[in-house]
Chains A and B, each alone.
Chain A
C-alpha cells in the first residue's frame, strides 16, 4: 500500500476526566491519508474519547493533536471551525435532525463553508445542493431527498449521516460505533458504503467497532485500546487472535461459544 502523507498526529495525548478517571493515557501515533483505521476495545476502553478528541468534541488534558498539520488543540474560534470542517463524523444514533428533510440534513454538512448570516436564512448555493444530491446518490438515497428524516429506517438514517459527511467534503471521517444500533444486513450495507468511500474517494476512515470480525474484514489497520492505552497497533495480518486476547483480556473461549450457541 502506498504511504500517504500524515493526516492526524497524536503527540503524547492524555485525558483525565474531572472526577479523576483516566480516559486516554500517553497516546502517540499518526494516521496517514487513505487509511481505514478501526479502533477496537472493550466498552469504556476510551474508544469514543479517542475519536472525539480528534475533532475536539472532547477536550484533552495533556499533549497535542494535529489535523492536517494544524493543531486542533490550540485552535480557537474560526480556526477551530475550519479544522473541524475537514473532519466528518458519523454517530451511533445517527444524530440527524429528525423533523427536517433528508436534504436539509445533508446540507447541514455545508454550513461551515458559509457566512452565519447566509445560514440564518438557509441560503445554500446551487453547488451545495448538487453536492448533497451526489452524496445521497452515492449512498443510494437520492429518491428520499425530500422525505422527513424520521420516516427512514435506521440503516437509511445512518446512510444519510454518511451523505452529510460526504457533502462536507471532509478529508477524514470519524465513525463512532456506526453500526451498533443496526441489524446484520444494514450493518453490511453501511460498512460497505464506508469501505467504498475510503477506496474511491480516498477519504481516511477512523471507525470505532466492538466487533472483531468486522474490524478484520474492513480495516487496513487496527488499533487496540485498553484502559485508555494503545495496546495494539498494526495491520490486519498482524492482528492475530493472540493480539485480540491482549486487547480484550483472556477470553474463556469455551464459555463464549457455549453462550453463543444459546
Chain B
C-alpha cells in the first residue's frame, strides 16, 4: 500500500522485459522450419483417405476386420479393468490408515501403489510382451497391473473417508470382524468402488487402442500396419471405428456411474 506508483511501473516493466527475453531466447533455439516438398501432397492424401474410409474393411467374413479388432480391444480393456478391480482391493484396504493400524503396512502399500502408478501403460505392455510374447494377453496384463495403482489409491482414499461409527454398532451386536466389515464398511465404499472402476474402464478403452501399435493386441495392430503402408482409407475407417467405440463405452460408463453416486 505504501509503495509509490513509480516503483510499481518499474516492476511491471522489468517483468515484461524478462518474459520477452525468455520468448526470444526460446524461439531462437528452434531449428529452422522447413517443409518437405511432398508434405502438402501427403497431408492432402491423408485427409482424403480419412474422409473416404474403406467401408469394405468393416466386416470381412474371411479374416481380420474392423469389428473383430474393436471387439478385441473392448475385451482387452474390460478384462484388464476386471483384473485390476479385483487385485486393487487388498492393496486399497491395507493402504487405508483407518483400517490398517500398522503404519509400516500402510506405508509399504502406499509405496507399492505409487510405484505401480509410475509406469505408463505402454512401458508395462512392452515389458509384458517380452515376458509372455506379443498378443492380447500382454495387453490384458499391462492394463490389469497398471490400473491397480490408480484404483488402489482412489479406493483407499475413499476408505479413509468412511464413517466408522457404524462399525462400533456392528461390534456391539455381536458381529465378528468379517461381518462387521461386510455390514459397516462395504456399503459405504461400494458405490465409489464401482464408480472408480467404470472410470478406469474408460481410461483403459483409450489405452487399449494404442497398445496394439506396439504389438499387445487389439485395433492398434491393423492401425499401425495401415499407417506403414500408407493405406489412408483403412486408417480412416479404423479411426472412425475407434471414435464410435470409445464414445459408446463412455456413454454406458457414465450412465452406470450416475446410478452409483
CB within 8 Å of B: which A61-86 residues:
77-78, 80-86
Bound complex: CA of A161 vs CA of B170, how far in Å?
11
A55 touches B166 (CB 8 A): no
B187 touches A97 (CB 8 A): yes
Instruction: Flag whether B18 is at the interface (Cβ < 8 A).
Output: no
CB within 8 Å of B: which A144-175 residues:
161, 164, 168, 174
In angstroms, how far is the closest chain A Cβ from the Cβ of B196?
16
CB within 8 Å of A: which B177-218 residues:
178-179, 182-184, 187-188, 191
Q: Name the contact of A97 in the complex, choosing from B171, B173, B176, B184 (C-beta under 8 A).
A: B184
B173 touches A109 (CB 8 A): yes
**Given the contacts A87-B172, A88-B173, A161-B169, A97 and B188 also touching, CB distance less than 8 Å:** yes
B170 touches A111 (CB 8 A): yes
**Given the contacts A81-B176, A112-B174, A168-B173, A120 and B183 also touching, CB distance less than 8 Å:** no
A116 touches B179 (CB 8 A): yes
B169 touches A111 (CB 8 A): no
| B169 neighbours in A (Cβ, 8 Å) | 89, 91, 95-96, 108, 161, 164
Q: Name the contact of B173 in the complex, choosing from A78, A85, A98, A104 (C-beta under 8 A).
A: A85
Instruction: Flag whether B165 is at the interface (Cβ < 8 A).
Output: yes
Instruction: Flag whether B47 is at the interface (Cβ < 8 A).
Output: no
Instruction: Flag whether A93 is at the interface (Cβ < 8 A).
Output: yes
| B165 neighbours in A (Cβ, 8 Å) | 91, 93-95
Instruction: Flag whether B168 is at the interface (Cβ < 8 A).
Output: yes
**Given the contacts A100-B187, A116-B179, A164 and B173 also touching, CB distance less than 8 Å:** yes
Instruction: Flag whether B123 is at the interface (Cβ < 8 A).
Output: no
B183 touches A98 (CB 8 A): no
| A96 neighbours in B (Cβ, 8 Å) | 166, 169
Bound complex: CA of A86 vs CA of B173, how far in Å?
8
In angstroms, how far is the closest chain A Cβ from the Cβ of B194?
13
Instruction: Flag whether B127 is at the interface (Cβ < 8 A).
Output: no
B182 touches A119 (CB 8 A): yes
A99 touches B188 (CB 8 A): yes
Bound complex: CA of A97 vs CA of B166, how far in Å?
6
In angstroms, how far is the closest chain A Cβ from the Cβ of B44?
57
Q: Name the contact of A84 in the complex, choosing from B166, B174, B182 (C-beta under 8 A).
A: B174
A111 touches B173 (CB 8 A): yes
Closest B residue by C-beta to A114: B179
In angstroms, how far is the closest chain B Cβ from the Cβ of A147?
15
| B170 neighbours in A (Cβ, 8 Å) | 108, 111
B191 touches A99 (CB 8 A): yes
Q: Name the contact of B183 in the complex, choosing from A55, A85, A94, A97 (C-beta under 8 A).
A: A97
CB within 8 Å of B: which A42-56 residues:
55
Bound complex: CA of A88 vs CA of B163, how far in Å?
20
Instruction: Flag whether B175 is at the interface (Cβ < 8 A).
Output: yes
| A260 neighbours in B (Cβ, 8 Å) | none
Bound complex: CA of A146 vs CA of B183, how far in Å?
16
Bound complex: CA of A81 vs CA of B176, how far in Å?
7
| B174 neighbours in A (Cβ, 8 Å) | 80-87, 111-112, 168
B172 touches A116 (CB 8 A): no
Bound complex: CA of A47 vs CA of B234, how far in Å?
78
Write 24 A-B pairs (CB below 8 A) sorted by A numbering.
A57-B168, A80-B174, A82-B174, A84-B171, A85-B173, A86-B174, A87-B174, A88-B172, A89-B173, A91-B165, A95-B168, A97-B184, A99-B188, A100-B187, A104-B187, A108-B175, A111-B173, A111-B179, A111-B183, A112-B174, A119-B178, A164-B169, A164-B173, A168-B174
- Which B residues contact A (CB, under 8 angstroms)? 163, 165-166, 168-176, 178-179, 182-184, 187-188, 191
- Which A residues contact B (CB, under 8 angstroms)? 55, 57, 77-78, 80-89, 91, 93-100, 104, 108-109, 111-112, 116, 119-120, 122, 161, 164, 168, 174
Pairs A-B, 10 closest by C-beta atoms: A112-B174, A85-B174, A84-B174, A95-B169, A89-B172, A95-B165, A81-B174, A97-B166, A100-B187, A111-B179
